Each structure stands twice: as structure tokens, then as C-alpha cells.
Amino acid sequence: MATTQRPETTRAASVDYRIEASALDRKLSSEVEAPPANWVANASILWDHRRTLARVTAIALVLSLVTAFLIPKRYESTGRIMPPESSGAGAAVFAALAGHALGELGGLGSLAGSLLGSRNSSALFVDLLRSGTVSGHLIDRFQLQHAYHKRYRVDTAKYLARHTTIVDDKKSGVITVTVEDSDPRRARDLAQAYLDELNLLVTNTNTSSAHQERVFIERRLKSVQADLERAQVDMSEFASSHTTIDIKEQTRAMVDAAAKLQGELIVGQSELSSLEQIYGSGNIRVRAAQARVADLQHELSKLAGTGAPLQSESESSSANQSSELYPPLRQLPRLAVPYADIYRRVRVQETVFELLTQQYEVARIQEAKDVPVVSVIDSPGIPEKKSFPPRLVVALLLTLFCLGATAAYLLFQHRWELVSATDPRKVLAREINGALRHKVARFVSDRKGSGA
């Protein structure tokens, strides 16, 4: 039994040995025949075409430099402003601005409402600078449609907006306006025009309470002035027609004059009676005393207005205007009422005019305080250096792009050559290529035929 089992054991061991040896040979052969890594193969392909890549790089570098120098220069001009604080009546200004100047912007009304309780109005001023009102004025002022070679006004506004940068510093509230243009002077002028238009827009749409008060007082002042002039004219006409300057003073003066005449008349009458007792009525001295007493009586009756019956106001006014320097005493009480009425009207209108004049000056001062004038921190200047293009960067990027595109094409061409001619992808590509060439050749022949 032992002799029969030994050969079987030997055969099994030899079989196992052969299996292990074959597995080891396959492993070694696979390691030896394994293809190189993908990047090594790509590097090898590119190294084989290194002269082509070098020529493409040189040509691309030259063309990139030419292209970079052909790109028009652009300049940037920057201005910085500090808007006023929106407190008190200034908040009403900004709310009105939101509804008046930027009514087409839907969210600006809510923005202005939120700004009423905030510290400053930077966000609102940024929206004002970006408004169609400002851009429209700039387009008309600098004829930007012709300068930017735009057919439509809306395209010009979009082009201007793309080349305008408005930045609001949330911490300080300072607004920076930067305008980019191919002309350095126009860039400076546009940046300055943004600041001017903002200031003009805010000033023109100022509807604060002080402004409304000033407008109301100004209208009322004109009305009161017209009433005062009419009252003064009425008083002048009344005084000239009735020869009255000041009823109170005239009455006092005429009473004093009448008292003096009355006293002289009493003295004259006493003297006349004593002379008549002594000399008789035919004496010359008696006659002189009688004439003097008659003159005093005439003057006294003239002063008192008792020499003639009472007349109407129009008749007395014409009579007084024609023959008397002052109205008689009997006319003064009747003239006192209309005179006092006219005088009162004049005094009332004068008082109201004086008060309104004072309030008008106060309202003007308050309005000047409330107008939110933009404070310019840095005025825009003419830029000395271009801001675009960075020629070296442009040339390097274009050169690298051309080099990368060429390398990708070489790798793709190598992979395409390895594809079998019977592959469906290659067959489809050949059919498409043939169809395109046929169409191009037919198009060229048709153009030549039509040109002939």
C-alpha cells in the first residue's frame, strides 16, 4: 500500500508546483507588459511635437502682444462724497425724493421709509445716482449716444451703467463713484457730473416742511402786500377827498383853534359893547370893533361848519376839496368812523405784513439748513494711468490659451488615429466631413458662377 501511494503524492505536488509557477509567470508578464501611465503617454506625444508647440507658442506670443496693444485704453476717474444725515425735516426730503425722482423703481419707496429712522441716507443716494433721471441728463449733456456709437438711448444707458461703479461703505457711509471711459477727460467730467446731478436732483425735489412753510408764507406775504397796498390807496383817496390827515390830531387842533377864536370873540364883543356905550354906534372905533367881531364870528362858524346847512358826504367832500383846507368840526364825527375803519385796515395789514416778513426770513433760513447738499470728499481728477487693459497679463493668457488648445488638438489627433477605421464613430465623422465639404464646394462654385 505504501508503494502505491507514493507516486500519487508526487504527482499532486508536481501539479501544485506547476500551477503556482504559471500564476507567477502571468503576474510577472503582466507587470512587464503593463502600459505606461496616461500622463506619461501624453507627455511623450507632446514631446514628439515639441517643435510644433514651440512655433505655435512663439506665433501666439507675437499675436497676443499685438492684440494687447490694439485693445483701446480705458481710464478711471473716482469721486467720493459724504451724504448728509437724514434727521428732522431732511428725512421728509428723502422720502419725497423716493416718490418723485425714482417713482419707476418699485423698491425705492420702502427703502426710503426704512431710511427715515436710520442714521444716514447713503443707500438712497446710491439709488439716486443709479436712477434713469441722472443717466438721462448725462446722456444729453455729453452726447453719449454719439460718443459710444449707440443707436438707441437705452443701450447707451446700459453701457454707461456697466462702466460706472458706485460703492457704498456701510461703516462710514462714504459713497465712491468711479467712471471708466476711453477718454480721460470725459471720465473725469462724467464722474463730476454724477455728483452735480445728484446735488441738483436733491435740491430741486426738496419738499421738506421748511420748504412748504416758506412757500406758503411767500404766497401769503404777496396776498397781504396786495391788501396793504389797496388799504393804503383807499386811505390816500379818503384823505385827499376829505382833506383829512389824522382825525384825532385834526380834531384836537381844531378844538383848540375854535376855543381860541371863541375867547377872542368874547373879548371882542365885550370891547364892542363898552365902545358903543362910550362913543355911540357911528364912531369909527365902534365900526372897527364891529368888523373885527364879525370876522371872528365868520371864522368861528366856518371852523364849526355852522355857516351852511349840513350837506351830504359827496357834496361836502367836493366843497371841502374846492374851498376849505380842513373839514369843519361838524363833519369830523361823521368822517371819524370811515377814517377809523380805513386806518384800522391799514394798521392790521401793516402788522400782518411785518409778522409774515419775519416768519418768511426764518423759514428761508430753516430751508437752507434742511437742504441736503452733498459734501464732496475727493473731487474727480483726470487719470494719468490707464486702468485697462493689463497688456502683459493679456498676452500671457492668450499665449497659454493657444498653447493649451494646440496641445489638446495634438492629443485628440493622436487618439483619433488609434481608433479603428471600421469604428462607427469614425464612419459618422467621415460622413459628416464629406457632407460639409460638399456643401462648401457647392457654395463656392455658386458664388463664383454668380460673380462671373
**Residue 305 clears pLDDT 80, i.e. is over it:** no
String of DSSP letters for 100-125:
HTTTT-TTHHHHHHHHTTSSB-HHHH
Q: Check if the beta carbon of residue 305 is closer than 8 Å to that of residue 329.
A: yes
pLDDT in tens, 85-124: 554 444 444 444 444 444 444 444 444 444 444 445 688 8
**Residue 187 clears pLDDT 80, i.e. is over it:** yes
Q: The pTM is what?
A: 0.49
What is the rounded distance in angstroms from the CA atom of residue 221 to the CA atom of residue 431?
Answer: 93
Mean pLDDT of 250-263: 68
Q: Check if the beta carbon of residue 180 is closer than 8 Å to that of residue 74.
A: yes
Strand bridging mode 75-82 / 175-181: antiparallel
Answer positive or negative: Cα dihedral of 34, 39, 40, 43.
positive
The pLDDT score that the predictor gives to residue 105 is 41
Q: Which residue has the cell 483619433?
A: 416
Q: Check if the beta carbon of residue 111 is closer than 8 Å to that of residue 123.
A: yes
Give the helix/strand (H/E) hosting 423: none
* 337 alpha-carbon distance from chain centroid: 58
The answer for residues whose C-beta is within 8 angstroms of residue 123's C-beta and 6 or more apart is 111, 115, 168
Q: Please report, as a single letter, which amino acid is at residue 265.
A: L
Measured distance between the N- and C-terminal CA atoms of the chain, rounded to whole angstroms: 108
What is the rounded distance in angstroms from the CA atom of residue 348 to the CA atom of residue 232?
Answer: 11
To the nearest whole percent, how much of the chain has pLDDT over 70?
Answer: 69
Mean pLDDT of 223-238: 84
| Longest distance between any two alpha carbons in the chain, whole Å | 219
**Residue 449 clears pLDDT 90, i.e. is over it:** no
Mean pLDDT of 297-325: 54
Q: Check if the beta carbon of residue 191 is closer than 8 Å to that of residue 179.
A: yes
Cα dist from 239 to 206, 243, 312, 339, 350, whole Å: 48, 5, 17, 8, 18
pLDDT band at 251, cuts 50/70/90?
low
And the C-alpha cell for 241?
A: 377827498
Q: Which residue has the cell 456697466?
A: 162
What is the rounded distance in angstroms from the CA atom of residue 292 to the CA atom of residue 299?
Answer: 11
The pLDDT score that the predictor gives to residue 446 is 80
Mean pLDDT of 45-53: 85
* 340 alpha-carbon distance from chain centroid: 54
Q: Of 274, 141, 266, 260, nearest to 196 (Cα)?
A: 141
3-state secondary structure at position 377: strand
The pLDDT score that the predictor gives to residue 440 is 87
State residue 120 phi and psi, 5-degree precision: -135, 180
pLDDT band at 441, cuts 50/70/90?
confident
Range ranked top by mean pLDDT from 56-60, 82-86, 282-286: 56-60
Q: Please report, as a single letter, which amino acid is at residue 168.
A: D
Give CA torsion, residues 408, 409, 410, 412, to 10 deg. Answer: 80
Which stretches of 130-223 are assigned E, i.e. beta strand? 164-168, 175-181
pLDDT in tens, 319-371: 444 445 556 655 666 666 677 777 778 888 888 889 989 888 888 887 776 56
The answer for residues whose C-beta is within 8 angstroms of residue 275's C-beta and 6 or more apart is 283, 285, 286, 289
Mean pLDDT of 214-222: 87
pLDDT band at 258, cuts 50/70/90?
low
Burial of 421 (0-12, 13-18, 19+ CB in 10 A): exposed
3-state secondary structure at position 378: strand
What is the rounded distance in angstroms from the CA atom of residue 303 to the CA atom of residue 254?
Answer: 7
Instruction: Check residues 91 and 409 and name the one with the higher pLDDT.
Output: 409
Cα dist from 63 to 51, 59, 386, whole Å: 18, 6, 22
